[in-house]
Amino acid sequence: MEERTRYNDFAKFLALHFPFKVQKISLNVGFTCPNRDGVKGYGGCTYCNNQTFNPAYCRTDKSVTEQLEEGKAFFARKYPEMRYLAYFQAYTNTYAELEKLRQMYEDALRVEGVVGLVIGTRPDCMPEELLDYLEELNRRTFLLVEYGIESTDNHTLQRINRGHTFECTADAVKRTAERGIRVGGHVILGLPGEDHEAIIRQAAQVSDLPLTTLKMHQLQLVRGTRMAREYEQHPEDFHLYEVDEYIDLVIDYLERVRPDLVLERFVSQSPKELLIAPDWGIKNYEFAVRMKRRLQERDTWQGKFYNKEKE
């Protein structure tokens, strides 16, 4: 089997939808989360520090339009023909009144060169009236709604202060997909209390959901988070993967996911000044090269064991 067919990557997925190169531009519109503001809890997810994925232009004192224009300027110097997806990324981007959400999404789509939206949110923040609007929006532009799944284990979800269950996740994903909307999922591999067997079991559970895309990344301990303090007090509760060990874990997972699932990401890289561990000292593209080489060495591919484990 040739390397290019070993898994479904996001770039090929985008190429099926657009005849030009597309880049996501991250946005921070100043939302919070129900497990931060007291509705379901305080402190947010124990692993979360949103500074880890907000670029410099992504600041709440700037409008959606300003953030997109600055993001475009950043990329256009190198790729003048690039088009863009407005990525509502930080915190919970459906956690507001419908009219406010509608205005922000429409403002983003009015920016020249923006050809669609990616909306990151939580499964417990998707009311039916918002789905009604998103269903209509999906008919006139590219739309991907990305849910933070993080884990399929309710004990883990409670431990990391998510404030919802996996049953809630499954319900939100199904309700969204039933509207004809593309649905993405995000999981973290290596959360405390989840061993190799539990993580591999998760692959089948995620595959049973009507997801279009899936992101995964390694657990990272980040300064300023509750989980970082937990690690200081009880390091024995954590298994932090070395890079080659994590590559094999990802491949074990990949072998058991649905063959048509689009795999957007396998690894993440927090800013050096915020990252406590694991610090692998390699770039994301270097990780991808090593993973592809390991796939060849193991002569394996996405979904290799998917049907066998369904039987």
Q: What is the 3-state secondary structure (H, E, C) of the chain?
A: CCHHHCCCEHHHHHHHHCCCCEEEEEECCCCCCCCCECCCCECCCCCCCHHHCCCCCCCCCCCHHHHHHHHHHHHHCCCCCCEEEEEECCCCCCCCCHHHHHHHHHHHHHCCCEEEEEEEECCCCCCHHHHHHHHHHHCCCEEEEEEEEECCCHHHHHHCCCCCCHHHHHHHHHHHHCCCCEEEEEEEECCCCCCHHHHHHHHHHHHCCCCCEEEEEECCEECCCHHHHHHHHCHHHCCCCCHHHHHHHHHHHHCCCCCCCEEEECCCCCCCCCEEECCCCCCHHHHHHHHHHHHHHHCCCCCCCHHHHHC
- Average pLDDT of the residues in 164-177: 97
30: pLDDT strictly greater than 60: yes
The pLDDT, as a whole number, for residue 309 is 63
Binned at pLDDT 50, 70 and 90, residue 51 comes out as: low
Give me the helix-helix angle, 128-138 and 166-177, nearest 10°.
Answer: 40
Q: Give pLDDT, residue 1.
A: 45
Q: How confident is the model at residue 123 (pLDDT cuts 50, 70, 90)?
A: very high
Both tokens of 156, joined, read 């883990």
> What pLDDT is recorded for position 140?
96
For the record, the structure tokens of 279 come out as: 């610090």
Predicted confidence (pLDDT) at residue 142 exceeds the cutoff of 90: yes
pLDDT, one tens digit per residue, over 201-259 is 999 999 999 999 999 999 999 999 999 999 999 999 999 999 999 999 999 999 999 99
Task: Give residue-wise pLDDT tens across range 65-85.
Answer: 999 999 999 888 888 889 999
What is the pLDDT at residue 2?
47
pLDDT value for 255: 97
pLDDT of residue 307: 78
Judged against a pLDDT cut of 50, whether residue 271 lies above it is answered with yes
In the predicted structure, residue 270 carries a pLDDT above the cut 80: yes
Q: What is the mean pLDDT of residues 6-25?
A: 94
What does the alpha-carbon distance between residue 90 and residue 58 come to, in Å, rounded to a whole number?
9
How sure is the predictor about 47, in pLDDT bands with cuts at 50, 70 and 90?
confident
Task: Report whether pLDDT(53) > 70.
Answer: no
pLDDT value at residue 166: 96
Average pLDDT on 166-186 reads 98
Q: What is the mean pLDDT of residues 166-185?
A: 98
Query: If you average pLDDT over residues 6-32, what whole number do you get?
Result: 93
**pLDDT for residue 31:** 86
Least confident of 56-60, 70-74, 188-192, 307-311: 56-60
Rounded to whole angstroms, how far apart are CA atoms 121 and 28? Answer: 12
Q: Band of the pLDDT at 50, cuts 50, 70, 90?
A: low
